[in-house]
Amino acid sequence: MNAATLTIPPLREREDLEWLIERLLARHQDESGAPVLSPAALMALKSHAWPGNIRELANAIAVAAALCENGVIEAGDLPDALAPVAAAASPGEAALRSMLARCAGNVSEAARRMGVDRSTVHRQMRRYGLSPRH
């Protein structure tokens, strides 16, 4: 029954990883263009093991694109599993605080406006030490 075996290398070993990242970033293009990665964010993406493979990479980029400020994805905008410990006054924290303020602390509304799941907003809030009704 096992007539053919197809071996696909993990993302971290693929030569076209940067090209793939660029294609995934292009999916999040708005009127100002596609978001761009800071060198630290690119390094974090390239050094991650990617056990979830392409789906995990696509989700990480979607989260970062929703949380980034001025179209630049910093390492602190990446999901916790990828990003180094964020600085207290990071652009991601400022953007999250601003969005929560505009939504009167309503996490569900902030998540909807950012185009991410509520759990993503809660995770970012924990990262920055923000309370639910900030």
Q: Which residue has the tokens 């696509």?
A: 58
Question: Which phi and psi angles does 72 have, rounded to 5°?
Answer: -115, 120
User: Could you tell me the pLDDT band of residue 85, with boundaries at 50, 70 and 90?
Assistant: very low
CA distance 104 to 97: 10
Q: Torsion angle of alpha carbons 81, 86, 90, 94, nearest 10°?
A: 60
116-133 average pLDDT score: 84
What pLDDT does residue 95 have?
Answer: 82
What pLDDT does residue 19 have?
Answer: 94
Q: What are the sequence ranges of the domains in the chain?
A: 14-82, 91-128
User: Could you tell me the pLDDT band of residue 133, with boundaries at 50, 70 and 90?
Assistant: low
What pLDDT does residue 89 have?
Answer: 53
Tell me: pLDDT of 87 over 70. Answer: no
Q: Which tens digits make up the pLDDT trace of 23-73?
A: 999 999 887 788 999 998 888 888 888 877 889 999 999 999 988 888 999
Strand partners for 30:
33
CA distance 75 to 30: 21
Strand partners for 72:
36, 69
115-133 average pLDDT score: 84
Helix axes 53-67, 91-102, angle to 10 degrees: 70
Query: pLDDT averaged over the chain?
Result: 83
Residue (of 79, 75, 63, 70) closest to 24 by Cα position: 63
**Domain at 14-82: CATH architecture:** Orthogonal Bundle (1.10)
